[in-house]
Amino acid sequence: MIKKIDISINKNAENILEIQIPAYKVEAEIIGSYDIPPLKDTIDTLKQCGETFFGYYLNEELCGAISIKVEDDEVDIHRLIVHPNYFRKGLAQKLLNFIVSKFEIETIKVATGSKNAPAVSFYKKNGFQNIKEVTVNEQLSLTFFEKKL
């Protein structure tokens, strides 16, 4: 089941971190850089991020989440995270489909580490187009994707 998460509640922010940190550690290993902002998040930074969170729950356990910001008719995905114990079970797809069906939007945007082959493949499979690549430092570059609906 997917439901909205009130990130202003400490326990909810803590639950997000419990899936975010392990998920982004896997990404960090893939891209070869642990200097990624989601690994530095705290309960306070999550509570202040201004994102709207939705969680995927199995038997009351938070297994994945997506966070977005909506502006006009665009959705910007800031996080699409699945706990490593639930990788390759379709949760990311269900969370993405939920956002597409829930909001009256024309465009969805997202960015991921350019070397994160599973994420890049996921977005391409879902019809996202590569818009640009930005080099953050010699170890890290980001690929920005966009999908018109």
Exposed/middle/buried for residue 133 (C-beta within 10 Å: 0-12, 13-18, 19+): exposed
Question: Quick one: fold of 2-148?
Answer: Aminopeptidase (3.40.630)
Q: Are 129 and 147 in contact (CB under 8 A)?
A: yes
> Which pLDDT value is given to residue 16?
98
Looking at residue 32, what is its pLDDT? Answer: 87
| Full-model pTM | 0.93
pLDDT for the residue 103: 86
Q: How confident is the chain (149 residues) per 10-residue block, as mean pLDDT?
A: 97 97 94 89 96 96 97 94 96 97 92 94 97 87 94
Question: What pLDDT sits at residue 36?
Answer: 87
Distance CA 85, CA 1 (A): 17
**What pLDDT is attached to residue 138?**
81
